[in-house]
């Protein structure tokens, strides 16, 4: 089955609408923090020397996305609250050994993006933010991973 550029564009647009953002519009706000973790990819030759215990420092960017600004405050989200929620989520992982937190899991950068997404989504309680989130963990200025989903 071949996919035409039209089909790709249509699927992309449907995905964008599903997460509450339109490709040619919408607003976003990003907050940043960092975490230092230890982990290994034990017994998985695909990871080469990273099978051994090693450390990583991630820059954590959380982008909050909405199609329209909040009607009363004219913002995407309270930047102070967003920063505090991110700080709380990061504290759960900072200076921790992920092998102990997630036994048997390959705690890849992609895996951690989803975990941080879940923490931000939970935030300060039900419905603290409505829209979409993109979590980006940067291992360096050359490599990063992300996870995006609707809240």
CB atoms within 10 A of CB 127: 8
Range of the domain at 68: 5-150
Integer Cα distance of 138 and 113 in angstroms: 10
10 Å CB burial of residue 64 (0-12, 13-18, 19+) is buried
Per the structure, the count of domains in the chain is 1
> Bridge partners of 58?
35
Integer Cα distance of 63 and 128 in angstroms: 15
State the CATH number of the domain containing residue 19. Answer: 3.30.479.10
pLDDT band at 123 (very low <50, low <70, confident <90, very high): confident
pLDDT tens for 18-72 read: 555 444 589 999 999 999 999 999 989 999 999 999 999 999 999 999 999 999 9
Structure tokens at 7: 């089909």
Any idea which of 2-6, 49-53, 92-96, 98-102 has the lowest mean pLDDT?
2-6
């Amino acid at each position: 089955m071949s996919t035409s550029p039209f089909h790709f564009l249509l699927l992309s647009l449907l995905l964008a609408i599903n997460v509450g953002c339109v490709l040619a519009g919408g607003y976003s706000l990003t907050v940043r923090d960092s975490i230092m973790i230890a982990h290994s990819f034990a017994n998985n030759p695909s990871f080469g020397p990273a099978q051994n215990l090693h450390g990583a420092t991630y820059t954590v960017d959380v982008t909050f996305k909405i199609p329209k600004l909040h009607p009363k405050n004219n913002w995407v989200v309270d930047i102070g609250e967003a920063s505090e929620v991110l700080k709380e989520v990061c504290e759960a992982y900072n200076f921790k050994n992920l092998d102990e937190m997630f036994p048997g899991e390959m705690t890849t950068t992609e895996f951690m993006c989803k975990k941080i997404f879940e923490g931000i989504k939970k935030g300060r309680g039900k419905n603290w933010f409505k829209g979409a989130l993109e979590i980006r963990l940067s291992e360096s200025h050359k490599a990063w991973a992300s996870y995006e989903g609707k809240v």
